[in-house]
Amino acid sequence: MAKQQTPLKIQIPNQGWKQFLTGRDEMLAAYDRARVHSSKRSVQTGHGNVAEAEFRKWLGDFLPKRYGVTSGYIISQGVPNSEDFVHYDVIIYDQLESPVLWVEASPDSSQQGEAMAIPVEYVCGVIEVKAVFNKKSVKQAVEQLRKLRPLMGFSKPSIHDYRFYLPKNFFCATVFYELHKENEKDFAALDSLLDGSDLRGFYGGYILRPESHEKFSSGKISFEYLHENIEPRNSSLLFWSNSKCKKVHEFYLRARLLHSETHFSEFAFDIIALLKGNYRPYALSSMYGFGTSDWEKGSAVSVTYSNPEAVKRFNDETEKYFNSKTDYLR
């Protein structure tokens, strides 16, 4: 009689979690090269352009092929021609159904540098990409996303199938490549992210690389509702941090920044859940690519949410204590 096979169950860390992180590493490597090349230029914009292009490339490779990824313009039949076009860093659209109204490209641009004009009803998501996480860049990203407000209504039933607004499951988000240690006290950056909380489908933000944190760690900024106004007690944005609270009806809303090696996979599969309309803010969208170095080593305890400097002091003092005990026993 054949031996019964053991049923599979969720494994932590998940198979291939480090391999999944190569997508993040490749984006950061290209960004670092561009930053070095542009360091001697009077206007250092090259690494920002590369950041956008590399993020679009990764996202286009990752998403199901139903979805196209481009930079460009969102066109609505309800917006007059006198209005200027608004350019967005990352537009995710239904490329199986959507026509492309026009393409803008220069001879020296890669495919990732093309800008396309997409009809509004086929646009599934918009992401603004910035190089550095600080108050200035957050405000710029949110202000750009706020230009979507006129397109966030809902069409009334009509005998004509004219579409003027973004689809029901539309979402928008922000992405930042780096959080520098010099900006670790810039807590107003988190407060500024709240300015986008009234946008339909606003996800929050993601930081690919926080400085002086674990090699594979990244930051995720999400929103949470509270029953009372809680003042933030922040020590560093490189540690967990909260924004000030914003009153929304009978609740209080705040933005929370957490760092973890799991956040790249969480962010990636949250995008898919958002596109499918089954995203749940307080639940994991998938376990694919889910893992940490601590779990890999067999430890159930992670220091990810601990202040890195405090952890170092604790480890140094612990080692010093046990070394002194060893010397005494000798």
Per domain, the residue ranges of the chain are: 17-299
Exposed, middle or buried: residue 294 (CB in 10 Å: 0-12, 13-18, 19+)?
middle
Phi and psi at residue 203, in whole multiples of 5°?
A: -80, -40
Global pTM reads 0.87
Output 108 or 329, whichever has higher pLDDT.
329
- Specify the range with the lowest mean pLDDT, choosing from 157-171, 273-287, 293-307: 293-307
- Are 219 and 263 within 8 A, CB to CB? yes
Closest of 78, 23, 89, 25 to residue 56, by C-alpha? 89
Q: What does the mean pLDDT of the chain come to?
A: 88
* Confidence grade of residue 319 (pLDDT, cut at 50, 70, 90): confident
- Are 255 and 226 within 8 A, CB to CB? no
| Rg of the Cα atoms in the chain | 22
Spatial separation of the C-alpha atoms in residues 262 and 200, rounded to whole Å: 26
Does residue 159 have a pLDDT over 70?
no
37, 41, 44, 50 alpha-carbon torsion, rounded to 10°: -30
Residue type, 107: P
98, 102, 104, 110 alpha-carbon torsion, rounded to 10°: 40
Output 7 or 226, whichever has higher pLDDT.
226
The per-residue pLDDT for range 173-225, each reduced to its tens digit, is 999 999 999 999 999 999 999 999 999 999 999 999 999 767 899 999 999 99
Closest of 206, 127, 204, 123 to residue 169, by C-alpha? 123
Mean pLDDT of 292-305: 73
Distances (CA, A) of 316 to 105, 165, 236, 319, 320: 55, 58, 21, 5, 6
